[in-house]
Amino acid sequence: MLQKLEDVERRYVELEGSLVDPTVIGNRKEYAKLAKERADLEEIVRSYRDWKRLAAEIDGHKALLEETDPEIRELAKIELPAMRERLDALEAELKHLLLPRDPNDERNVIVEIRAGTGGEEASLFAAQLFRMYSRYAEQQGWRVELMSASPTGLGGFKEVIGLIEGHGVYSRLKYEGGVHRVQRVPVTEASGRIHTSTVTVAVLPEADEVDVHIDETKDLRIDVFRSSGPGGQSVNTTDSAVRVTHLPTGLVVACQDEKSQHKNKAKAIKILRARLLERAQEEQQAELAQSRRSMVGTGDRSERIRTYNFPQGRVTDHRINFTLYSLDRVIEGDIEPLIDALNTHYQAEALKAAS
């Protein structure tokens, strides 16, 4: 670990020198790239320098234990335990900081929510989950944009897709992907029996144009059609809805929420980019023995990750065996305890794997 930290500090010093070089300053793109790299290393270097300074102080106090003056020896003896405790805490922090960062952590996300088993009840819960994530995003100061939706007659969604923009969105929501199970008495149930339904959530990092190259003239087939709402009712009388097919992979995305054909096309391509980026990254991660997805079982979305039990007011995340008895607050967007528990668990797993 010390060798890694020495290498990081050496690189940090090199970057500081480069950033005052007139040649680099004159190249905006290169300057921005090096400045970002320096910013990424700053916290590690600061903690490492604190560790080195404290380690030197501890060595000095150890030397004082050999002093002839009993008062100096006693003072050193009293201060050493607290100093060693701070040094251990710094070492733990440095181990955490040296973990490889998920390159997607700072990205915006596209959240795709689809009703699974359970018919209309699953559609209603899909709408409730979308509202839950939207409320959480608002609490964080993030922006939510509805990208696409297939509503049902009772106010649910067969499918709903939203873009969430803000600082570090993916780092907070990346473990929300999977099958969410709900247990409750549906509004459509006359006999009062508890039903179990499922909803699938996918969390995709938003892709930039530089991440996924799409040749719109060669790679895409664009079909336009008339938008329709629940029950086949016509929403408007123009062909504003857009279906985009990515010919190389066969992926299809349709958007009809905007009245403008151009806006629907732009949204569909944005969703398509995110899905293509996820596919490319999953292929890369499949080659890594210790990828993030290997930490969460198989990573298959058919796995049940969480249960929302309304009669008991309980939410249980099955991956970490973590239960909250505050379902009413969770559904209103108070999911921070769940997110914190998941991040803590997987960081601990990553530390264990690294050591």
Domain residue spans of the chain: 2-97, 109-207+299-354, 216-284
Count CB-CB contacts under 10 A for residue 280: 13
Return the axis-axis angle of helices 2-18 and 28-64, rounded to nearest 10°: 130
- What is d(CA 60, CA 76) in angstroms, rounded to the nearest whole number? 9
User: ∠ at Cα 156 (322, 162), nearest 5°?
Assistant: 70
Class of domain 2-97: mainly alpha
Q: Which CATH class is domain 109-207+299-354?
A: alpha beta
- Give which of 254, 137, 129 is closest to 179, Cα–Cα: 129
In the prediction, which pLDDT does 303 show?
Answer: 62
Residue 182: per-residue pLDDT? 94
Q: Which of 278, 269, 294 is nearest to 204 (CA)?
A: 278
Which residues are CB-contacts of 353 (< 8 A; sequence separation ≥ 6)?
290
For 254-270, give the DSSP string.
EE-SSS-HHHHHHHHHH
Helix axes 336-354, 70-97, angle to 10 degrees: 100
Give Cβ neighbours of residue 166 (< 8 Å, ≥ 6 apart).
108, 137, 140, 141, 142, 143
Q: Left (φ > 0), alpha (ψ -120 to 50) or beta: where does 245 sit?
A: beta
Given a contact cutoff of 8 angstroms between Cβ atoms, the answer to whether 264 and 256 are in contact is: yes
CATH of 216-284, one of 1.10.490.10, 3.40.190.10, 3.30.160.20, 1.10.730.10: 3.30.160.20
pLDDT in tens, the chain (355 residues): 788 888 888 998 999 999 998 998 888 888 888 888 888 888 889 988 999 999 998 888 888 888 888 888 888 888 899 999 998 888 888 877 777 777 788 889 999 999 998 889 999 999 999 999 999 999 999 999 998 889 998 889 999 999 999 988 999 999 999 999 999 998 777 777 899 999 999 998 887 655 677 888 788 888 888 766 554 444 445 678 888 898 888 888 888 877 788 888 888 888 888 888 888 777 766 654 343 343 333 333 346 899 999 999 999 999 999 999 999 999 999 999 999 999 888 887 877 776 6
Report the DSSP beta bridge partners of residue 315.
308, 324
Q: Rounded CA gap, 344 and 197, in Å?
A: 29
Residues 6+ apart with CB under 8 A from 23: none
Model pTM score: 0.64
Model pLDDT, residue 107: 87
Distance between first and last Cα of the chain:
10
CA distances from 149 to 139, 156, 266, 351 (A): 23, 10, 15, 40
CA–CA separation, 276 vs 291, rounded Å?
19
Token representation of residue 336: 């921070």
From residue 76, how far is each of 83, 237, 286, 323, 355 by CA, in Å? 10, 84, 53, 46, 33
For residues 85 and 2, give the distance between their C-alpha atoms in angstroms, rounded to a whole number: 19
Strand partners, 259: none
Q: DSSP label at 334?
A: -
